[in-house]
Amino acid sequence: MKYILMMNTMKTGQGVPDWPRKDLQAHIAFMMDFAKDLRESGELVSAEGLAFPDQARLVRAGKDGSPITDGVFPEGKEFLAGYWIVNVETPERAYAIAARASAAPGPGGAPLNMPIEVRPVMSAPPPEML
């Protein structure tokens, strides 16, 4: 069963974290360890980090189908910072992985306890009913 773990933690107007270098390095090292463990457990399907919200554009089709882009978002709107897709045996395992990501270290090395949204990825059709 595949699950997506979404880190909806970026906000408009938020810049690069201004943490001390040591704390930033600890955070990055944690994330790299986390990804490595998921690869080694044979559970990682894919993972991506996304660019900051100032790179985001909202696109709608105009009357002739051409793109109309809008980049002005309300202050404080939450954005997806990145995601992992994992293939695990149980939902509990997906929650445990999400909890580990949530506790990534922040300033001063204290856990951030970020909210991680966990949702099943739609899969192939189930066996038909006999």
Partner 1 sequence: MTPPPGHFAAEHLLRELAPQVLGALIRRYREFAAAEDAAQEALIAAATQWPREGVPDNPRAWLMQVASRRMVDYVRREAARRKRETVAAMQMDALAPPADAGMGTEEDDTLTLLFMCCHPALTPSSAIALTLRAVGGLTTAEIASAFLVPEATMAQRISRAKQTIKTSGVLFSFPADRERADRLRAVLHVLYLIFNEGYTSSAGPDLLRLELSGEAIRLTRALHALLPDDAEVAGLLALMLLTDARRSARTGPDGELISLTQQDRTRWDRTEIAEGTALLTAALAKGSVGAYQLQAAIAAVHDEAECAEDTDWPQILALYELLKRMSDNPMVMLNHAIAAAMVDGPAKGLELLAALDADKRLAGHHRLDAVRAHLLEMAGDPQAAIRHYRIAARKTTNLPERNYLTAQAARLSDGS
Distance (Å, rounded) from C-alpha 98 to C-alpha 102?
6
- Residue 113 engages partner 1 in binding (rule: CB under 8 A): no
Which residues are paired to 85 by β-bridges? Answer: 4, 46
Q: Which is nearer to partner 1, 46 or 113 (CB)?
A: 46
- Rounded to the nearest whole angstrom, what is the least distance from the CB of residue 120 to partner 1 in the complex? 4
Q: Which of residues 5-64 bind partner 1 (CB under 8 A)?
A: 39-46
How far are the Cα atoms of 16, 119, 124 from residue 5, in angstroms, in the given order?
A: 22, 7, 20
Residues 3 and 12: their CA atoms lie apart, in Å, by 27
Minimum Å distance from CB 34 to partner 1? 15
Q: Which is nearer to partner 1, 75 or 89 (by Cβ)? A: 89
> DSSP label at 13?
T
Q: Which stretch binds partner 1 (CB under 8 A): 50-58, 70-78, 100-108, 120-128?
A: 120-128
Chain centroid offset of residue 16 CA: 16
Residues at the interface with partner 1 (CB under 8 A): 1, 39-46, 87, 89, 120-130
